[in-house]
A and B are shown apart, each in its own frame.
Chain A
Amino acid sequence: QVQLQQWGAGLLKSSETLSLTCAVQGGSFSGYYWTWLRQSPGKGLEWIGESNQSGSRNYNPSLQRRVTISVDTSKRWFSLKLSSVTAADMAMYYCARARIAAAGHLEAFDIWGRGTMVTVSS
């Protein structure tokens, strides 16, 4: 059974860089896009971006200037960095597996991590 185990700093100061990592336990690491999402009361669920094992990445344009998603295939990890955080970045951050359909498009986010609450103080 595939599980995603995520960790990272949950308390940041304004202008710092958010850094989270997600480990893929079980299953295949290839053939999927590894994804970060966040959820806040104000913005709801928001897709941040994704990367596959080859380093092909897609980002939400609203965050693209500040986001980096990287993959370490040897460790079966993927990571999120979000620079220059503000109070608007306070949210629950989730890592997730994006299942890809045979036609090559995203099918769904079928496995999720438990989430990391990120708080930003001034």
Chain B
Amino acid sequence: DIQMTQSPSSLSASVGDRVTFTCRASQTISTYLNWYQQKPGRAPNLLIYDASSLQSGVPSRFSGSRSGTYFTLTITGVQPEDFATYYCQQSFSTPYTFGQGTSLEI
């Protein structure tokens, strides 16, 4: 199985900050990497697919990038509704796997 490692496990920020989440794949996965946001008591919500493509309806302050097996999700100008947990997920091969998540906290 492909292991997805996210860092850090939690991140503190203030409204208006620029924050970056990191995800590393245990092997090459090309750009087959997705990012999800999950709020307490809710299902995950797709933000970014194919490493850098913005899902329809997602604010443009969210962006994604790739460098080799490292992937980043950036929020430029954190809003109050962005405080949540963020997960990466590889869609390169089955079984599809997720990172353990990064919690964005005030």
Interface residues of A in 64-121 (CB under 8 A from B): 94, 96, 99, 101, 105-110, 112-115
A45 touches B44 (CB 8 A): yes
Q: How far is the CA of A94 from the CA of B92 in the complex (A)?
A: 21
Q: Is the CB of B43 within 8 A of A47?
A: no
Main secondary structure of the interface of B (DSSP, over half): loop
**With A94-B43, A108-B46 known to touch, is A47 a contact of B96 (CB < 8 Å)?**
yes
Please tell me if the beta carbons of B43 and A110 are within 8 angstroms of each other in the complex. Answer: no
Q: Given A105-B91, A109-B46 in contact, is the A44-B32 Cβ separation under 8 Å? A: no
The segment from B14-22, B68-76, B97-105 found at the interface with A is B97-105
Q: Is the interface of A mostly helix, strand, loop or mixed?
A: strand
A60 contacts partner chain B, Cβ-Cβ < 8 Å: yes
Q: Which of B43, B49, B55, B96 contacts A113 (CB 8 A)?
A: B43
Residue of A nearest to B98 (CB): A45
A62 located at the interface, meaning its Cβ lies under 8 Å from any Cβ of chain B in the complex:
yes
B63 within 8 A of A: no
Q: Is B52 an interface residue (CB 8 A)?
A: no
Count how many chain B residues have C-beta atoms less than 8 Å from C-beta atoms of the other chain.
23
A53 at the A/B interface (Cβ < 8 Å)?
no
B45 contacts partner chain A, Cβ-Cβ < 8 Å: yes
* CB of B98, distance to nearest CB on chain A (Å): 4
Residues of A contacting B42 in the complex (Cβ-Cβ under 8 angstroms): 114
Interface residues of B (CB under 8 A from A): 32, 34, 36, 42-46, 49-50, 55, 87, 89, 91-92, 94-101
The 5 closest A-B pairs by CB, nearest first: A112-B43, A45-B98, A108-B49, A106-B91, A60-B95
- A47-B97, A94-B43 given; name 17 further pairs at CB < 8 Å: A45-B44, A45-B101, A46-B98, A47-B96, A60-B94, A61-B95, A62-B95, A105-B32, A106-B91, A106-B96, A107-B50, A108-B55, A109-B44, A109-B46, A109-B89, A110-B49, A115-B43
